[in-house]
Amino acid sequence: MIEFSQERAQTLLAQFRALVACESPSNDPQSLAASARLIGEIGEQITGIRPDVRTIEGFPHILFRIGSGPRRVLLLGHHDTVWPRGTLTSMPWSVDGDTVRGPGTDDMKGGILIALHAVGALLRHVDEEDLDGVSILFTADEELGSPTSQLLIEQLSREAEAVLVFESGGPAGEVKVARKGVAIYELEVVGRAAHAGVEPESGVNATVEVSRQVLAIDGIGTPDGSTTVVPAVMQSGTTTNTVPARATVGVDSRALTVTEQERVDRALRGLRSFHPEAELTLHGGINRPPLEERFAADIFERARAAAAVLGHPPLEAIRVGGGSDANFAAGVGTPTLDGLGTVGGGSHADDEHALLSWIPRRVELTASLVLSLLRDPVVRPTATTTTTTAATQGPAR
Protein backbone atom coordinates (compact mmCIF):
# COMPACT_ATOMS: atom_id res chain seq x y z
CA MET A 1 0.00 0.00 0.00
CA ILE A 2 1.42 3.38 -1.05
CA GLU A 3 1.08 6.22 1.45
CA PHE A 4 1.77 9.87 0.61
CA SER A 5 3.90 11.38 3.37
CA GLN A 6 3.41 14.79 4.97
CA GLU A 7 6.86 15.80 3.76
CA ARG A 8 5.94 15.09 0.16
CA ALA A 9 2.63 16.88 0.66
CA GLN A 10 4.58 20.02 1.61
CA THR A 11 6.69 19.68 -1.54
CA LEU A 12 3.52 19.32 -3.59
CA LEU A 13 2.07 22.45 -2.00
CA ALA A 14 5.11 24.51 -3.05
CA GLN A 15 4.85 23.13 -6.58
CA PHE A 16 1.13 23.87 -6.56
CA ARG A 17 1.79 27.50 -5.73
CA ALA A 18 4.36 27.75 -8.54
CA LEU A 19 1.94 26.28 -11.09
CA VAL A 20 -0.88 28.62 -10.10
CA ALA A 21 1.51 31.60 -10.23
CA CYS A 22 2.41 30.59 -13.80
CA GLU A 23 -0.82 31.77 -15.44
CA SER A 24 -1.76 29.79 -18.54
CA PRO A 25 -4.83 31.08 -20.40
CA SER A 26 -5.71 28.96 -23.42
CA ASN A 27 -5.36 31.84 -25.89
CA ASP A 28 -1.90 33.05 -24.76
CA PRO A 29 0.93 31.14 -26.50
CA GLN A 30 3.67 32.80 -24.45
CA SER A 31 2.00 31.89 -21.15
CA LEU A 32 1.31 28.34 -22.31
CA ALA A 33 4.95 27.88 -23.32
CA ALA A 34 6.09 29.05 -19.87
CA SER A 35 3.58 26.71 -18.23
CA ALA A 36 4.80 23.78 -20.33
CA ARG A 37 8.40 24.46 -19.33
CA LEU A 38 7.51 24.62 -15.65
CA ILE A 39 5.44 21.43 -15.74
CA GLY A 40 8.26 19.72 -17.59
CA GLU A 41 10.73 20.75 -14.89
CA ILE A 42 8.45 19.77 -12.01
CA GLY A 43 7.51 16.50 -13.70
CA GLU A 44 11.15 15.60 -14.25
CA GLN A 45 11.93 16.38 -10.60
CA ILE A 46 9.12 14.09 -9.46
CA THR A 47 9.53 11.21 -11.91
CA GLY A 48 13.04 11.52 -13.32
CA ILE A 49 11.53 11.41 -16.81
CA ARG A 50 12.27 14.10 -19.38
CA PRO A 51 9.06 15.03 -21.18
CA ASP A 52 8.42 15.38 -24.88
CA VAL A 53 6.71 18.71 -25.63
CA ARG A 54 4.61 18.39 -28.77
CA THR A 55 3.67 21.81 -30.06
CA ILE A 56 0.76 21.78 -32.48
CA GLU A 57 -0.32 25.07 -34.05
CA GLY A 58 1.33 26.92 -31.17
CA PHE A 59 -0.18 24.80 -28.36
CA PRO A 60 2.44 22.92 -26.28
CA HIS A 61 1.22 19.49 -25.17
CA ILE A 62 3.43 17.72 -22.62
CA LEU A 63 3.99 13.96 -22.82
CA PHE A 64 5.85 11.77 -20.30
CA ARG A 65 6.44 8.14 -21.25
CA ILE A 66 7.75 5.31 -19.08
CA GLY A 67 9.56 2.62 -21.03
CA SER A 68 9.34 1.80 -24.70
CA GLY A 69 6.83 -1.03 -24.66
CA PRO A 70 3.21 -0.94 -25.78
CA ARG A 71 1.17 1.75 -24.06
CA ARG A 72 -1.01 0.42 -21.26
CA VAL A 73 -2.26 3.22 -19.00
CA LEU A 74 -2.67 6.88 -19.96
CA LEU A 75 -2.98 9.60 -17.30
CA LEU A 76 -4.64 12.59 -18.95
CA GLY A 77 -5.04 16.25 -18.01
CA HIS A 78 -4.59 19.80 -19.28
CA HIS A 79 -2.56 22.82 -18.21
CA ASP A 80 -4.53 25.63 -19.85
CA THR A 81 -7.10 27.58 -17.85
CA VAL A 82 -10.02 29.89 -18.59
CA TRP A 83 -8.46 32.74 -16.61
CA PRO A 84 -6.87 35.69 -18.47
CA ARG A 85 -3.40 36.85 -17.59
CA GLY A 86 -3.47 39.18 -14.60
CA THR A 87 -6.22 37.29 -12.75
CA LEU A 88 -3.81 36.67 -9.87
CA THR A 89 -4.09 40.35 -8.98
CA SER A 90 -7.75 40.02 -8.02
CA MET A 91 -7.71 36.30 -7.20
CA PRO A 92 -4.35 35.59 -5.56
CA TRP A 93 -3.00 32.27 -4.34
CA SER A 94 -3.98 31.74 -0.72
CA VAL A 95 -4.11 28.94 1.83
CA ASP A 96 -6.72 29.12 4.55
CA GLY A 97 -6.73 25.99 6.67
CA ASP A 98 -7.65 23.13 4.35
CA THR A 99 -8.59 25.39 1.43
CA VAL A 100 -6.26 26.62 -1.29
CA ARG A 101 -7.54 29.27 -3.67
CA GLY A 102 -6.41 30.76 -6.95
CA PRO A 103 -7.00 30.50 -10.71
CA GLY A 104 -6.67 26.93 -11.90
CA THR A 105 -6.45 25.35 -8.44
CA ASP A 106 -9.40 23.03 -9.12
CA ASP A 107 -9.35 23.06 -12.93
CA MET A 108 -6.83 21.59 -13.04
CA LYS A 109 -3.35 22.42 -11.82
CA GLY A 110 -3.91 20.37 -8.71
CA GLY A 111 -4.88 17.44 -10.90
CA ILE A 112 -1.60 17.74 -12.80
CA LEU A 113 0.35 17.33 -9.56
CA ILE A 114 -1.81 14.42 -8.40
CA ALA A 115 -1.00 12.52 -11.60
CA LEU A 116 2.72 13.29 -11.44
CA HIS A 117 3.09 12.48 -7.75
CA ALA A 118 1.17 9.22 -8.15
CA VAL A 119 3.63 8.08 -10.81
CA GLY A 120 6.52 9.38 -8.72
CA ALA A 121 5.28 7.34 -5.75
CA LEU A 122 5.06 4.23 -7.91
CA LEU A 123 8.60 4.74 -9.20
CA ARG A 124 9.84 4.79 -5.59
CA HIS A 125 8.06 1.55 -4.73
CA VAL A 126 8.36 -0.64 -7.82
CA ASP A 127 10.94 -1.16 -10.54
CA GLU A 128 10.61 1.19 -13.49
CA GLU A 129 10.33 -1.78 -15.83
CA ASP A 130 7.13 -2.76 -13.99
CA LEU A 131 5.63 0.56 -15.09
CA ASP A 132 6.62 0.15 -18.73
CA GLY A 133 3.69 1.37 -20.82
CA VAL A 134 2.50 4.22 -18.59
CA SER A 135 2.09 7.64 -20.24
CA ILE A 136 1.09 11.06 -18.90
CA LEU A 137 -0.31 13.73 -21.23
CA PHE A 138 -1.13 17.32 -20.31
CA THR A 139 -2.71 19.24 -23.17
CA ALA A 140 -2.82 23.01 -23.73
CA ASP A 141 -6.21 23.63 -25.35
CA GLU A 142 -8.86 21.65 -23.44
CA GLU A 143 -10.72 24.79 -22.42
CA LEU A 144 -11.12 25.64 -26.13
CA GLY A 145 -12.53 22.21 -26.96
CA SER A 146 -9.16 20.52 -27.68
CA PRO A 147 -8.94 21.56 -31.35
CA THR A 148 -5.22 20.72 -31.71
CA SER A 149 -4.93 17.94 -29.12
CA GLN A 150 -7.97 15.82 -29.98
CA LEU A 151 -6.16 13.60 -32.48
CA LEU A 152 -3.22 13.14 -30.09
CA ILE A 153 -5.59 12.23 -27.24
CA GLU A 154 -7.42 9.77 -29.46
CA GLN A 155 -4.18 8.22 -30.71
CA LEU A 156 -2.73 7.71 -27.23
CA SER A 157 -6.08 6.51 -25.86
CA ARG A 158 -6.47 4.01 -28.68
CA GLU A 159 -3.03 2.60 -27.86
CA ALA A 160 -3.77 2.35 -24.13
CA GLU A 161 -5.74 -0.27 -22.19
CA ALA A 162 -7.17 2.32 -19.79
CA VAL A 163 -7.30 6.11 -19.38
CA LEU A 164 -7.43 8.03 -16.08
CA VAL A 165 -8.50 11.68 -16.30
CA PHE A 166 -7.64 14.31 -13.70
CA GLU A 167 -10.47 16.79 -13.95
CA SER A 168 -11.78 17.72 -10.49
CA GLY A 169 -13.92 15.25 -8.59
CA GLY A 170 -17.34 15.76 -7.08
CA PRO A 171 -17.92 17.88 -3.97
CA ALA A 172 -17.72 14.84 -1.68
CA GLY A 173 -14.81 13.21 -3.52
CA GLU A 174 -16.89 11.35 -6.09
CA VAL A 175 -15.32 10.29 -9.37
CA LYS A 176 -17.04 10.82 -12.72
CA VAL A 177 -18.25 7.70 -14.49
CA ALA A 178 -20.35 9.37 -17.20
CA ARG A 179 -20.29 12.62 -19.13
CA LYS A 180 -22.75 13.74 -21.74
CA GLY A 181 -21.53 14.07 -25.28
CA VAL A 182 -21.58 17.55 -26.75
CA ALA A 183 -22.80 18.78 -30.13
CA ILE A 184 -22.78 22.40 -31.28
CA TYR A 185 -24.77 23.67 -34.26
CA GLU A 186 -25.85 26.86 -35.96
CA LEU A 187 -29.03 26.95 -38.03
CA GLU A 188 -28.91 29.61 -40.74
CA VAL A 189 -32.16 30.87 -42.27
CA VAL A 190 -32.12 32.85 -45.52
CA GLY A 191 -35.26 34.73 -46.49
CA ARG A 192 -35.73 37.81 -48.67
CA ALA A 193 -35.54 41.46 -47.69
CA ALA A 194 -38.31 43.96 -48.43
CA HIS A 195 -39.46 47.33 -47.13
CA ALA A 196 -41.41 46.67 -43.92
CA GLY A 197 -43.73 49.63 -44.51
CA VAL A 198 -44.19 49.68 -48.27
CA GLU A 199 -44.34 46.02 -49.36
CA PRO A 200 -43.70 43.56 -46.50
CA GLU A 201 -45.62 40.91 -48.43
CA SER A 202 -42.77 40.84 -50.98
CA GLY A 203 -40.29 39.64 -48.38
CA VAL A 204 -39.60 36.31 -46.74
CA ASN A 205 -39.24 37.08 -43.04
CA ALA A 206 -36.23 35.21 -41.63
CA THR A 207 -37.12 36.24 -38.07
CA VAL A 208 -40.51 34.58 -38.29
CA GLU A 209 -39.00 31.48 -39.87
CA VAL A 210 -36.22 31.10 -37.31
CA SER A 211 -38.74 31.58 -34.49
CA ARG A 212 -40.78 28.66 -35.79
CA GLN A 213 -37.61 26.59 -36.11
CA VAL A 214 -36.66 27.39 -32.50
CA LEU A 215 -39.91 25.85 -31.30
CA ALA A 216 -39.23 22.75 -33.40
CA ILE A 217 -35.67 22.48 -32.08
CA ASP A 218 -36.87 22.87 -28.51
CA GLY A 219 -38.95 19.72 -28.89
CA ILE A 220 -36.08 17.44 -29.96
CA GLY A 221 -34.70 16.82 -26.47
CA THR A 222 -36.15 14.20 -24.12
CA PRO A 223 -38.75 15.10 -21.46
CA ASP A 224 -36.60 13.70 -18.64
CA GLY A 225 -33.67 15.95 -19.56
CA SER A 226 -31.28 13.10 -20.31
CA THR A 227 -30.88 14.56 -23.81
CA THR A 228 -30.95 18.34 -24.05
CA VAL A 229 -31.26 20.41 -27.22
CA VAL A 230 -31.10 24.09 -26.34
CA PRO A 231 -31.65 26.92 -28.85
CA ALA A 232 -29.28 29.60 -27.56
CA VAL A 233 -27.85 32.71 -29.25
CA MET A 234 -30.19 34.05 -31.97
CA GLN A 235 -29.56 36.90 -34.38
CA SER A 236 -31.69 38.34 -37.16
CA GLY A 237 -32.49 41.46 -39.08
CA THR A 238 -30.70 44.67 -39.91
CA THR A 239 -33.10 47.59 -39.43
CA THR A 240 -36.61 47.94 -38.00
CA ASN A 241 -38.08 48.97 -41.36
CA THR A 242 -36.64 46.01 -43.28
CA VAL A 243 -38.10 42.52 -43.52
CA PRO A 244 -35.19 40.39 -42.24
CA ALA A 245 -33.39 38.46 -44.96
CA ARG A 246 -31.17 36.35 -42.69
CA ALA A 247 -31.29 34.86 -39.20
CA THR A 248 -29.22 32.38 -37.21
CA VAL A 249 -29.66 30.42 -34.00
CA GLY A 250 -26.95 28.53 -32.13
CA VAL A 251 -27.89 25.17 -30.65
CA ASP A 252 -26.20 23.30 -27.79
CA SER A 253 -27.03 19.60 -27.47
CA ARG A 254 -25.93 17.12 -24.78
CA ALA A 255 -26.65 13.39 -24.68
CA LEU A 256 -25.64 10.39 -22.59
CA THR A 257 -25.24 7.96 -25.49
CA VAL A 258 -23.95 7.95 -29.03
CA THR A 259 -27.33 6.65 -30.16
CA GLU A 260 -29.02 9.75 -28.77
CA GLN A 261 -26.42 12.06 -30.29
CA GLU A 262 -27.06 10.55 -33.68
CA ARG A 263 -30.84 10.81 -33.24
CA VAL A 264 -30.53 14.52 -32.45
CA ASP A 265 -28.19 15.04 -35.38
CA ARG A 266 -30.66 13.40 -37.77
CA ALA A 267 -33.54 15.46 -36.37
CA LEU A 268 -31.69 18.73 -36.81
CA ARG A 269 -30.57 17.83 -40.31
CA GLY A 270 -34.15 16.87 -41.09
CA LEU A 271 -35.62 20.30 -40.28
CA ARG A 272 -37.66 21.75 -43.13
CA SER A 273 -38.70 25.35 -43.69
CA PHE A 274 -42.20 26.49 -42.80
CA HIS A 275 -42.20 29.17 -45.51
CA PRO A 276 -41.77 27.55 -48.93
CA GLU A 277 -39.21 30.16 -50.02
CA ALA A 278 -37.11 30.21 -46.85
CA GLU A 279 -33.80 28.31 -47.06
CA LEU A 280 -32.25 26.43 -44.13
CA THR A 281 -28.59 25.48 -43.72
CA LEU A 282 -27.30 23.60 -40.66
CA HIS A 283 -23.69 24.19 -39.69
CA GLY A 284 -21.66 22.29 -37.09
CA GLY A 285 -22.09 18.84 -35.66
CA ILE A 286 -21.00 16.49 -32.88
CA ASN A 287 -18.13 17.94 -30.88
CA ARG A 288 -17.47 15.30 -28.23
CA PRO A 289 -18.86 11.76 -27.97
CA PRO A 290 -20.24 10.85 -24.54
CA LEU A 291 -18.31 9.08 -21.82
CA GLU A 292 -20.78 6.25 -21.47
CA GLU A 293 -20.92 4.66 -18.04
CA ARG A 294 -20.08 1.21 -19.34
CA PHE A 295 -16.60 2.47 -20.25
CA ALA A 296 -15.95 3.52 -16.63
CA ALA A 297 -17.66 0.69 -14.74
CA ASP A 298 -14.72 -1.72 -14.37
CA ILE A 299 -12.18 0.96 -13.42
CA PHE A 300 -14.61 2.51 -10.94
CA GLU A 301 -15.09 -0.80 -9.12
CA ARG A 302 -11.32 -1.15 -8.84
CA ALA A 303 -11.04 2.42 -7.59
CA ARG A 304 -13.76 1.84 -4.99
CA ALA A 305 -12.02 -1.30 -3.75
CA ALA A 306 -8.66 0.50 -3.63
CA ALA A 307 -10.14 3.40 -1.63
CA ALA A 308 -11.48 0.93 0.93
CA VAL A 309 -8.10 -0.80 1.30
CA LEU A 310 -6.40 2.59 1.71
CA GLY A 311 -8.82 3.57 4.46
CA HIS A 312 -10.27 6.46 2.47
CA PRO A 313 -13.90 7.57 2.72
CA PRO A 314 -16.21 5.32 0.61
CA LEU A 315 -15.77 6.24 -3.04
CA GLU A 316 -18.95 7.16 -4.92
CA ALA A 317 -19.70 7.89 -8.57
CA ILE A 318 -21.46 10.81 -10.23
CA ARG A 319 -22.67 11.55 -13.73
CA VAL A 320 -22.30 15.05 -15.18
CA GLY A 321 -23.57 16.98 -18.17
CA GLY A 322 -20.36 18.74 -19.15
CA GLY A 323 -17.70 17.28 -21.42
CA SER A 324 -13.95 16.79 -20.96
CA ASP A 325 -11.15 15.03 -22.78
CA ALA A 326 -12.44 11.84 -21.14
CA ASN A 327 -15.13 11.92 -23.82
CA PHE A 328 -12.52 11.57 -26.56
CA ALA A 329 -10.76 8.72 -24.73
CA ALA A 330 -13.95 6.73 -24.26
CA GLY A 331 -15.06 7.69 -27.75
CA VAL A 332 -12.34 5.51 -29.28
CA GLY A 333 -13.43 2.57 -27.12
CA THR A 334 -10.93 2.74 -24.25
CA PRO A 335 -12.09 2.18 -20.65
CA THR A 336 -11.94 5.61 -18.99
CA LEU A 337 -12.49 7.04 -15.51
CA ASP A 338 -12.67 10.81 -14.88
CA GLY A 339 -12.72 13.05 -11.81
CA LEU A 340 -9.49 11.79 -10.21
CA GLY A 341 -8.20 15.33 -9.69
CA THR A 342 -8.74 17.71 -6.82
CA VAL A 343 -11.82 17.87 -4.64
CA GLY A 344 -13.01 21.44 -4.26
CA GLY A 345 -15.23 23.69 -6.34
CA GLY A 346 -15.73 26.97 -8.11
CA SER A 347 -14.12 25.95 -11.40
CA HIS A 348 -14.40 28.88 -13.84
CA ALA A 349 -15.67 31.08 -10.97
CA ASP A 350 -13.94 33.57 -8.71
CA ASP A 351 -14.24 31.24 -5.69
CA GLU A 352 -12.25 28.45 -7.35
CA HIS A 353 -10.60 26.33 -4.68
CA ALA A 354 -9.25 22.89 -3.79
CA LEU A 355 -9.22 21.04 -0.47
CA LEU A 356 -5.70 20.06 0.56
CA SER A 357 -6.80 17.08 2.68
CA TRP A 358 -8.03 15.27 -0.41
CA ILE A 359 -4.82 15.55 -2.43
CA PRO A 360 -2.82 12.80 -0.63
CA ARG A 361 -5.86 10.51 -0.94
CA ARG A 362 -6.05 11.12 -4.67
CA VAL A 363 -2.31 10.47 -5.09
CA GLU A 364 -2.60 7.19 -3.18
CA LEU A 365 -5.77 6.17 -5.02
CA THR A 366 -4.25 6.89 -8.44
CA ALA A 367 -1.06 4.97 -7.66
CA SER A 368 -3.05 1.95 -6.46
CA LEU A 369 -5.32 2.12 -9.49
CA VAL A 370 -2.43 2.27 -11.96
CA LEU A 371 -0.86 -0.80 -10.36
CA SER A 372 -4.17 -2.67 -10.57
CA LEU A 373 -4.58 -1.78 -14.24
CA LEU A 374 -1.04 -2.87 -15.08
CA ARG A 375 -1.38 -6.19 -13.28
CA ASP A 376 -4.86 -7.03 -14.57
CA PRO A 377 -5.95 -5.11 -17.70
CA VAL A 378 -9.59 -4.22 -18.14
CA VAL A 379 -11.61 -5.57 -21.04
CA ARG A 380 -12.73 -3.00 -23.61
CA PRO A 381 -16.50 -2.75 -24.04
CA THR A 382 -17.81 -2.83 -27.56
CA ALA A 383 -17.49 0.76 -28.77
CA THR A 384 -20.08 2.72 -30.68
CA THR A 385 -18.22 5.27 -32.75
CA THR A 386 -19.43 8.66 -33.83
CA THR A 387 -18.00 11.53 -35.81
CA THR A 388 -16.74 14.73 -34.27
CA THR A 389 -16.62 17.96 -36.23
CA ALA A 390 -13.45 19.86 -35.40
CA ALA A 391 -14.69 23.10 -36.90
CA THR A 392 -17.47 23.30 -34.34
CA GLN A 393 -15.37 22.66 -31.28
CA GLY A 394 -15.72 25.04 -28.39
CA PRO A 395 -15.78 25.15 -24.62
CA ALA A 396 -17.58 22.17 -23.12
CA ARG A 397 -17.76 21.89 -19.38
Is 142 marked active-site? Answer: yes
SS3 per-residue string spanning 15-72? HHHHHHHCCCECCCHHHHHHHHHHHHHHHHHHHCCCCEEEEECCEEEEEEECCCCCCC
Taking phi first (over 0 means left), then psi (-120 to 50 degrees means alpha), and beta for anything else, what does residue 97 get? left
Q: Among residues 107, 141, 142, 292, which one is catalytic?
A: 142
Residues 287 and 296: beta-carbon distance below 8 Å = no
Angle CA(252)–CA(254)–CA(255) in degrees, nearest 5?
150
- Strand-strand pairing, 134-139 and 73-78: parallel
**Cα distances (Å, whole numbers) of residue 52 to 36, 44, 60, 63, 66:** 10, 11, 10, 5, 12
Using DSSP, state whether 192 is helix, strand or coil. strand
Find how far residue 137's CA is from the centre of its chain: 13
Catalytic residue selected from 23, 80, 167, 364: 80
Active site residue 376: no
Q: Degrees (nearest 5) of the Cα angle 279, 280, 283? A: 145
Cα–Cα dist 320/290, whole Å: 10
Task: Give the separation between CA 212 and CA 276, rounded to whole angstroms.
Answer: 13
> Roughly how many angstroms between the first and final C-alpha of the chain, as a whole number?
34
Q: How far apart are CA 364 and CA 395, in angstroms?
A: 31
Measure the CA angle with vertex 143, ends 136 and 363; round to 5°: 35
Nearest to 288 by CA among 232, 256, 331, 230: 331
What are the distances in angstroms from CA 183 to CA 220, 228, 236, 301? 13, 10, 23, 30
Edge to edge, the sheet with strand 336-337 lists: 52-56, 59-65, 134-139, 73-78, 162-165, 336-337
Closest residue by Cα to residue 132 from 76, 71, 50: 71
Nearest-angstrom CA–CA distance, 370 and 300:
12
* Contact (Cβ atoms closer than 8 angstroms) between residue 181 and residue 327: yes
The catalytic residue positions are: 80, 142
